[in-house]
Structure 1
């Protein structure tokens, strides 16, 4: 049995390809941008910003309670409300790749080191 689609959390992945000298500044800018998203949009669950060892890539991982919540936040990116496109230009991203995913299976360790597995659909 599959869980209804609206009960699944939603993940957005945004990968930036940049020059290594831009990586630290981009991570800092994305951190501030992501904090604004967390405070300003309902349905925000979590975010991670990851930097590659070679300095050429940054991955922004955003998780939302629903597809609708994630898409509403992304629409604000496109309208310029959060200055996302300016952030891309300012850090001279060579490429930016967007991906959207429904969460179907989740693993996590609890505070007592027990492994919790959730099969969503």
Structure 2
């Protein structure tokens, strides 16, 4: 399924598998790095960092206006003040999984509690 180029957004999902004692430090480091990416790269839409209850996984979700914006930011992530690979080593990540996705449908609740659906395609 392909969306018209003008309506596409791009999502990067990065999942870390770590030892539970590393989770808090990794979340803090990802939070700082994600804020830097958001401040210094155009095309940023949103981000979240999620932690599993068992302490073994962290999910970093970044959404960009275009694939190109996301890829440019990630290149900076790889070579920044604390590069991405140093982050992985410092927090003893056992596994890092990358996923890239086009957003084709989204649903969100507005302040008035209504549901707003966006279909792309």
- TM-score clears 0.5: yes
Between 1:81-90 and 1:109-118, the stretch displaced more is 81-90
**Where do residues 35-74 of structure 1 align in structure 2 (5 Å cutoff)?**
35-74=35-74
Alignment match, 1:115: 115
Distance 1:34 1:9 in 2: 18
RMSD: 1.2
Describe the superposition over 1:23-76 as per-residue Cα deviations: whole angstroms up to 9, x where unpaired: 000000000000000001000011000000110000000000111100111122
Instruction: Give the equivalent residue in structure 2 for 1:81.
Output: 80
Name the count of aligned residue pairs: 119
Per-residue Cα deviation, 1:86-113 (whole angstroms, up to 9, x for no partner): 1111000001000000000000111101
Could you list the runs of 5+ residues in structure 2 that have no partner in the other structure?
none
TM-score, normalization by structure 1: 0.93
Offset at residue 6 of structure 1 (A): 4.2
Please list every run of 5 or more consecutive structure 1 residues that lacks an aligned counterpart in the other structure. none
**1:107–1:116: 8 Å Cα contact kept in structure 2?**
yes
Q: Structure 1 residue runs of 4+, over 4 Å off?
A: none
Give yes or no for contact 1:6–1:66 (8 Å, CA) kept in 2.
no
CA distance in 2, matches of 1:114, 1:6: 26
Cα distance in 1 between the residues matched to 2:57 and 2:6: 32
